[in-house]
Amino acid sequence: MSRRDWSLHLGLVALLFALNWILPAYHHGVVARVMVLAVFAMGYNVAFGYTGLLSLGHAMYFAAGMYGTGLVALHLEAGAIPAWFAGLGAGLLLALVTGLLALRTAGVSFMIVTLMFAQAFYLGILYFGDITHGDDGFVVPNAARRVAEVALSDAGPRYLIGWALFSVTMIGTLWLVRAPFGRVLVAIRENEDRARLLGYDTGRRKLGALVISGGISAGAGAAYALLFGYVGASFAGVQYSIFALLWVLLGGAGTVIGPLVGTLFMYYLVDLSTEVTDAYMLIAGIVLILLTLFMPRGITGALRQVWRDLP
Amino acid sequence: MEFGPYLLLACLEGAVLAAVLALMASGLSLVFGVMRVVNVAHGEFYMLGAVAAWAVTSMLGAGAVANFVAALVIAPLAVGLLAAAADMTILKRLEYDPERTIVATIGLLYVIQQLTLMTYGADARPVVAPFNSRIALPWVEWGENGLSLYYPWGLSTTSYKLFVIVAAVVLITGLRLFMAHSRAGLIMRATQLDGEMATAFGVPVERVYAIVFGAGAALAALAGVLIVPIQQAHYLMGGDALLLSFIVVIIGGLGSLTGTVVAAILIGMSDGIISVFFSPTLAKIIATLVVALVLVFRPQGLFGAKDR
């Protein structure tokens, strides 16, 4: 890894850390939220951006983390840390099971299978309303939202935990895609037959990528439940799967900082447009169409043409 | 009500759903068959059909029948033209790349849905059926004098629901005959088999694609017009309809019209029956899981032939 790569990514981490003391209250909250959502996007990016697995069902992994954490906290009165690991475990398990089935297909079929699994998961949340509180969702009990004496619901700790999760995930994925495993994933994305011909077991590596991707997404969902205190079925809906795709596409698929750029940009765009109209998803639709037409590589992808070795 | 009449009622409701679904899914199947792209915005064309039917009937203000006939003609035409325009401005420029087309049609889905929300609003609005007489249905019973007919309370349907079933049968038969025997159908089938070869034989493939995309959307809009007197027009009605027609097209085998119709009957009836006896949510969970597993273990669909 070149020194420029390190300075770019560590610089970003340091900048986000410093912003904790600089940002006004409202934007402080937004950036905390965006960092957690960007972790979800980075998880998606491992599957879509680096391995070429275009999933339309990643909301189910995010929601598995969220509900795994929330339900354990609500019904078993677990503390924050065990609850977070419960969410992570739920997401990893779900990614393993759905991956084993869905990866038997490819391309358009893979998109539809993941969409259907996610839809069944979403409907399952509604169906088991006695446990999950269905459409209304539930508030995570305050007892579960503290570690030692620190309340995770306070603005300061919330920002710093979001920042820590974001930084660890970013450096982790940067390391992952530079490691031999990540190189093989890119090879699978570019030409799976050729990768197989070279002797790589592409099936197992794709499963590995999907489980890592689902795990990161679930970790984000679990953190979201703890930091923002609300668990709801809307996070499992198709819309959030589409959001993950949109954030990654917009920021630039297959780049490490792309997901943050895309999430930040889209969040503010939607935030600004809700002041004008209720139909904020209109913006998402227009951006999606424009991206596929004019900028298939996203913002960072366009930058990469100028700065060639941007990771 | 006893079990028997109850089952008959569930079957009737299922048959109406199956009819509308078959029509809508035929459109999706036609587009996939000829162009090899999945149109995620298909549900929104169905919704636009229903909303356009409301707009036409409320603006025209003629009699219920004249209003409805006008809606049956104008709504599919308008929606078809819109879809053809979308094909020419967006999909053509993506060169019908399967994955990018899905992403672009997801965008189209939100644009159409949200523009409808901004103009038509969030209310559900009804359209008056052209005719709607209640028809009580008889049921057989072992009485003291052997078999006898009686009319159980609550077992009834309406003339309009029967009309929807008949209309769907007529339209789909017409579509099949059109594809099999007309010159335009021949050109579409030629494009489906081999687009490059068709170009070489002078078929204007781009125009065929635009027409097919428009026709697929028009079929969805037609389904929307037919359903709106039973179920009100709402800007979010496309989502469930899209999901169900996906299920139908996949179980029937992508691109196979016969399979689509058989699957529509299967899904419509079982959805009707499971929804009446159990819960609609459970019916949808089962259906979505079945679809995913069909795609995983039998990608050609239950009725489709193996890929050539």
Q: Contact at 8 Å (CB) between A227 and A162?
A: yes
Q: What is the rounded average pLDDT of the residues B123-140?
A: 77
Inter-chain contact B108–A285, Cβ cutoff 8 Å?
Answer: yes
Q: HEC string of chain A?
A: CCHHHHHHHHHHHHHHHHHHHHCCHHHHHHHHHHHHHHHHHHHHHHHHHHCCCCCCCCHHHHHHHHHHHHHHHHHCCCCHHHHHHHHHHHHHHHHHHHHHHHCCCCHHHHHHHHHHHHHHHHHHHHHCHHHHCHHHCEECCHHHHEECCEECCCHHHHHHHHHHHHHHHHHHHHHHHHCHHHHHHHHHHHCHHHHHHCCCCHHHHHHHHHHHHHHHHHHHHHHHHHHHCEECHHHHCHHHHHHHHHHHHHHCCCCCCHHHHHHHHHHHHHHHHCCCCCCCHHHHHHHHHHHHHHCCCHHHHHHHHHCCCCC
Chain B: closest CA distance from residue A247 (Å) = 13
Q: What is the rounded average pLDDT of the residues A244-267?
A: 83
Tokens matching residue B28: 């999706």
Q: By three-state DSSP, how is residue B36 classified?
A: coil
A contacts of B243 (beta carbons < 8 Å): 119
Give me the pLDDT at residue B213, please: 92
Q: Which of residues 203-232 of B touch A (CB under 8 A)?
A: none
- A221 or B290: which leads in pLDDT: A221
Give me the pLDDT at residue B307, please: 45
Residue B278 lies in a domain: no
The answer to whether B236 faces chain A, any CB pair under 8 Å, is: no
DSSP H or E run through B136: strand B134-136
The CA distance from A280 to A263, in Å, is 15
Residue B305 lies in a domain: no
pTM greater than 0.90? no
Domain ranges of chain A: 3-237
The CA distance from A151 to A131, in Å, is 26
Inter-chain contact A293–B293, Cβ cutoff 8 Å?
Answer: no
- Which of A192-206, B156-170, B266-280 has the least mean pLDDT? B266-280
Confidence bin at B153 (pLDDT 50/70/90): low
Confidence bin at B45 (pLDDT 50/70/90): very high
**Residue owning tokens 């979800």:** A40
Domain hosting residue B226, numbered range: 15-236
Confidence bin at A210 (pLDDT 50/70/90): very high
Nearest chain A residue to B280 by CA: give it. A127
The answer to whether B284 faces chain A, any CB pair under 8 Å, is: yes
Chain pair A-B, CB pairs under 8 angstroms: 115
Residue B5 lies in a domain: no
B contacts of A289 (beta carbons < 8 Å): 90, 104, 107-108, 111
Tokens matching residue B55: 């707009």
The CA distance from A112 to A102, in Å, is 9
B contacts of A54 (beta carbons < 8 Å): 99, 102
Chain A: closest CA distance from residue B37 (Å) = 9
Residue B2 lies in a domain: no
Q: Contact at 8 Å (CB) between B266 and B11?
A: no
The answer to whether B186 faces chain A, any CB pair under 8 Å, is: no
Nearest chain A residue to B109 by CA: give it. A285
Q: Which residues contact B227 (CB under 8 A, 6 or more apart)?
A: B20, B50, B164
The CA distance from B99 to B91, in Å, is 11
- DSSP-derived letter for residue B307 is P
Q: ipTM for the complex? A: 0.75
The CA distance from A194 to A176, in Å, is 21
Most B CBs within 10 Å, among A288, A290, A295, to test the B interface: A288
Give tens-digit pLDDT for A142-163. 777 777 777 777 778 888 889 9
How many domains is chain B partitioned into structurally? 1
The answer to whether B297 faces chain A, any CB pair under 8 Å, is: yes
- Sign for the pseudo-dihedral over CA of A83, A89, A93, A98: positive
The CA distance from B111 to B90, in Å, is 13
Give me the pLDDT at residue B303, please: 60
